[in-house]
Structure 1
Amino acid sequence: MTDHLTVVSHPLVQHKLTIMREKETSTAVFRQLLREISLLLAYEVTRDLPVSTKKIETPLCEMDAPQLDGKKLALVSILRAGNGLLDGILELIPSARVGFVGLYRDEETLQPVEYYFKVPAEIDDRVVIVVDPMLATGNSSAAAIDMIKNAGAKNIIFLCLLAAPEGVAKMKEAHPDVPIVTASLDDGLTDQGYITPGLGDAGDRMFGTK
């Protein structure tokens, strides 16, 4: 663990991740586990949210009780695979505002190309959690955060299921102010840019596509 990278080593997270990695795991089970693991990761990523107090009355007495402070969270999903993490976090934080970033890789230049961008209003006053299951090369993630910063966001956290050292290094270089929370820092990337040992293509496994 560093200031820039947090690996969530909770036994439930690691157990669920092991089942997700197995190639025999069905689409339905993979999707359900991704939802469950996103809830557990959300606890970690929201650990330092600002809190204030309000006066309430319990059945026994008045008290100053803690509550979340400031504007509601913004969750930004990097399409399409980010939606798997997004759905689970919304179960925990149903009032969060939601945005989407759509990127694809140009096969000639290998650079990310934007095809969709929509984020909540007043994003500069919100804690923004950007979600994408895989941090592989880091090119798309860094580009997405560039776009989100250009929209005004100042307080950003990146949440992923798996990270490769190459992606972590790219993100640290491009966005040293954006902490990363992940369930695993894997060994590296294949020649095709897949995380190894990894779990394959998260989008394909989640949606049953090839």
Structure 2
Amino acid sequence: MCSGGCAKCLGISLLPLAVLCVLANILLFFPGGKVAEDSTHISDEVWYFGGILGAGVLMIFPALVFLGLKNNDCCGCCGNKSCGERFAMFSSIIFAAIGFVGAGYCFIISAIAINKGPKCQNQSGNWTYPFNNGDYLGNSTLQQECVNPKDIIPWNLTLFLLLLLMSGVQAVLCAIQAINGLMGTLCGRCKSGCCGGDGPV
């Protein structure tokens, strides 16, 4: 298995996921697809920037590092190219850990937001969180507690669910790269890669 070729495949997969997570988080600033009348009407979890910072910015750096591993031409330690390649693979483990933490942060924030439900205006005219412990999921009677913004429940639920799924995939990919990086550190060069990659690291 070529660790550099596999890392490139993982990097290619992580980049679009990071962009999608950023877009999903941005859309959450528009409850129900409309501009919020007041910033306090937006759910608190949106302001934690799980998709923008965690699964977005923190994920871009590992993705770029993974993409560059296959073409790494480091001179290595004191001119030893093999040593340089092993060090590059070792450094990818650190970036994979950073990406895993970012994805985990987004995953946790999204799970909390789904369980807590959106902030909305109830029938009494107050802006609050009318739901507890995910009891609104699948219960149309409880969902009627939210009267404004219109469609805020499916809007928030869909976007946070997407963030949950995409950050989960990102965490798995980063974990795979951590294992891949460890193998590359221990084994060094190779001839055939996963994802169809051929040639040396």
If the TM-score is normalised by the length of the shorter chain, which range does it land in? Answer: under 0.3
Larger relative contact order, structure 1 or 2 (CA cutoff 8 Å, min sep 6): 2
Structure with the bigger percentage of strand: 1
Structure with the bigger percentage of helix: 2
Give me the TM-score of the superposition, normalised by structure 2.
0.27
Larger Rg: 2
Give me the TM-score of the superposition, normalised by structure 1.
0.26
